[in-house]
Each structure stands twice: as structure tokens, then as C-alpha cells.
């Protein structure tokens, strides 16, 4: 019991923002905050059904649970740190329990969503500077606002002709052929198989309490749609940003779907530099049927191998 308490405190410590670096919160306050969090975790621990016996997974799940239940500020969770810890753990593990991994990732997604909702609310608040300077001429700004180095870009502000212009290309379309239909069928069949696979996966392992939440969106829908967007981008590595269509929620959707697709073996995901580098995704096998079949076979095997958890 003591040991698990220790583990838990450590994990929370890792997951929490490094508050002392970010704001002026004194070290003591921070410790007492974490202490109280640990206590809450201990309380919750008794009443909650947590599938994993692994202290790490258990602690992460509990901490996330607290956020999801709105007893933590979502921004107190450092998801980057979480991904690092979790990836490190998964790399070391001989076998990954997909049930628990899925649950944890799903919870991380919820937190990310809560964070982005807050960020969105914050960003949507009109900046005070906007009100102050509304209708003012830009020339007079540098009196009030710290100007940034304009460099030669200043020329752009006054230029009549922009160095960039839309290129005119041919817009031609052609009748569809039988080969197109077959290609489409091939893709459609694979995609719907993935959906079926996913539906089964989600059905089997969904957390009962998620149903009560506002997340009625179907994760399968999201994953399928993100997979399609990826296909449309063609061959090779694609910055994840290119998969976003609109809105902030969409980013969360794309990100989580990418995690699932990666887990299913359909795509690779990597980041240029941690933590703020560009994230890239690449479909492992957009055109190569053999490999895609292998990949889906692998995902099926993984699902089947998952030990049965209540």
C-alpha cells in the first residue's frame, strides 16, 4: 500500500506541470497541492474499478479520472510528459495490453479535449488591445506596443503587388471507369473492415461511464474520416496539421484518431523534436494491399491477444 502510494505520487509529480518553472507558485504550495491530489487519488482508488494491476497504469488512469470527473484542472496535467512516460513504458513492455492502453489514451484524449476547450474559450475572449486600438491607424501602434523586428518584410505592408499569387492550373475531369470502381471498391472494403474491427473493439472495451458523458461522437467515425483524409493526402509523410480541416475540436479528433490508427498498425506517427516539433504521420501502406492486409491482420491478432479483463 505504501509502495503504491509512492508510485502514485511519483507519477502525479511527473504528470503535473512543472509549476515552479511556469508561475510563481512557491515550492511548498506545489507540494501540498500534489499531496492533496495524492490523497484524493487514494480515496478514489478504493471505490473505482481500475482494470490494471500495473502501478504505473493504475496511477495514470486515476489521475486522468480525476480530471475527467472535473476534480482537477485539466491544465494541471502535462500530457507531453505523459506521452513520454507512456511511450517509454510501452517500448520496454514485452506485451501491450490494448484494453488498458485504449482506455488510457481515450482518457488522455478527453483531457486534451478539455484543455483545448479551455484554450479556445481563452482565445475567443477579445484581446483587450483590440478594443483599445480598434480603428486606429497601424502607424501609430509602435508608440504603445512592443514592435517586432520587421526586417525586409515591411515592404510587404506597403507593396502594391504581392510576391505570391494563385497559380492557374487546368481543371479537368474525366468519366469514371471500371478500374476506378474497382480501386474504389478495394479501398472502401478495407475501410469498412477497419470500421467493423474498430466497432467491435470499442464495443468490447468501452468504459461504461463514458456513455453518460457528452461524448456521443463516434470514435469510429472520427478514425475512419481521418483515415480517408490521410489517403487523400497521398504518399509519404504528412504533417499532421495538413489533416486538420476546421475548428479546434477537429485537431483533437485528428490527433486521437492518429493515435488509434498508429496503434492499429495502419500509420506511423513521429515528431521531429520533442516537445514542440512538427508531428508527422504516414500511412504505412496506402497502395500496397499485401502490407495493409498484414497490418490489419496484426491489429486483429493484437486485439485477440488481449487478456480478458473485467
Partner 1 sequence: MKSERIIEAELFSAAKPVTVTELSQISGLDARTVRSALDKLAEEYNGSDRAIEVSKMGPRYAMQVKKDYKDYAWRLSEMEIPKDVLKTASLIAYYQPVLQSKLFDLIGNKVYEHVKSLEDLGLVRTKPRKNSYELTTTKKFIETFGIDARSRTEVKAWLEGELTKKSSPKKS
| Nearest-10 crossing angle of helices 27-47, 2-15 | 120
CB of 251 to partner 1, least distance (A): 8
CB of 75 to partner 1, least distance (A): 12
CB of 227 to partner 1, least distance (A): 11
CB of 58 to partner 1, least distance (A): 31
Phi, psi of 262 (to 5 degrees): -65, -45
Query: Contacting partner 1 (CB under 8 A), which of 289, 298, 301, 309?
Result: 289
Residue partners of 191: CB distance under 8 A and separation at least 6: 224, 227, 228
Query: Contacting partner 1 (CB under 8 A), which of 81, 187, 250, 282?
Result: 187
Cα 263 to the chain's mean position, in Å?
Answer: 13
Query: Contacting partner 1 (CB under 8 A), which of 134, 211, 212, 273?
Result: 134
List binders of partner 1 among 6-45 (CB under 8 A). Answer: none
Omega prior to 224 cis, within 30 of 0: no
List binders of partner 1 among 224-283 (CB under 8 A). Answer: 224-225, 228, 232, 234-236, 238-239, 241-242, 244-246, 248
Nearest alpha carbon to residue 219 among 239, 242, 186, 197 = 197
CA-to-CA distance for 220 and 197, rounded, in angstroms? 9
List binders of partner 1 among 104-133 (CB under 8 A). Answer: 116, 119-120, 122-123, 127, 129-130, 133
Cell 523586428 found at: 149
Nearest alpha carbon to residue 60 among 117, 111, 3, 25 = 111
Q: Which is nearer to partner 1, 33 or 190 (CB)?
A: 190
DSSP 281: E
CB of 13 to partner 1, least distance (A): 26
CA-to-CA distance for 290 and 243, rounded, in angstroms? 25
CB of 48 to partner 1, least distance (A): 32
Q: Which is nearer to partner 1, 5 or 242 (CB)?
A: 242
List binders of partner 1 among 137-176 (CB under 8 A). Answer: 138, 141, 145, 147-148, 150, 152-153, 155-157, 159, 162-176
Amino acid at each position: 500500500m505504501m509502495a503504491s502510494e509512492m508510485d502514485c505520487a511519483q507519477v502525479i509529480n511527473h504528470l503535473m506541470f512543472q509549476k515552479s518553472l511556469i508561475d510563481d507558485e512557491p515550492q511548498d504550495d506545489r507540494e501540498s497541492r500534489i499531496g492533496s491530489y495524492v490523497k484524493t487519488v487514494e480515496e478514489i482508488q478504493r471505490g473505482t474499478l481500475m482494470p490494471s494491476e500495473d502501478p504505473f497504469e493504475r496511477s495514470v488512469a486515476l489521475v486522468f479520472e480525476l480530471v475527467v470527473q472535473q476534480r482537477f484542472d485539466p491544465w494541471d496535467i502535462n500530457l507531453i510528459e505523459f506521452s513520454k512516460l507512456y511511450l517509454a513504458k510501452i517500448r520496454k513492455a514485452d506485451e501491450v495490453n490494448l484494453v488498458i492502453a485504449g482506455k488510457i489514451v481515450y482518457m488522455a484524449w478527453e483531457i486534451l479535449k478539455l484543455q483545448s476547450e479551455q484554450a479556445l474559450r481563452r482565445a475567443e475572449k477579445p484581446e483587450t488591445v483590440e478594443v483599445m486600438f480598434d480603428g486606429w491607424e497601424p502607424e501609430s501602434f509602435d508608440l504603445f506596443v512592443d514592435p517586432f523586428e520587421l526586417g525586409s518584410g515591411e515592404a510587404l505592408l506597403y507593396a502594391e503587388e504581392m510576391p505570391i499569387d494563385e497559380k492557374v492550373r487546368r481543371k479537368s475531369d474525366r468519366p469514371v471507369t471500371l478500374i476506378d470502381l474497382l480501386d474504389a471498391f478495394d479501398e472502401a472494403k478495407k475501410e469498412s473492415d477497419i470500421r467493423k474491427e474498430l466497432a467491435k473493439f470499442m464495443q468490447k472495451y468501452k468504459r461504461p461511464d463514458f456513455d453518460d458523458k457528452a461524448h456521443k461522437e463516434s470514435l469510429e467515425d472520427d478514425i475512419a474520416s481521418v483515415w480517408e483524409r490521410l489517403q487523400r493526402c497521398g504518399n509519404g509523410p504528412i504533417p499532421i496539421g495538413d489533416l486538420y480541416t476546421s475548428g479546434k475540436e477537429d485537431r483533437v479528433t485528428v490527433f486521437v484518431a492518429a493515435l488509434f490508427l498508429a496503434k492499429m498498425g495502419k500509420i506511423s506517427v513521429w515528431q521531429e523534436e520533442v516537445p514542440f516539433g512538427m508531428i508527422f504521420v504516414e500511412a504505412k501502406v496506402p497502395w500496397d494491399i499485401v502490407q495493409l492486409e498484414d497490418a490489419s491482420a496484426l491489429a486483429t491478432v493484437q486485439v485477440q491477444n488481449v487478456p480478458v479483463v473485467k
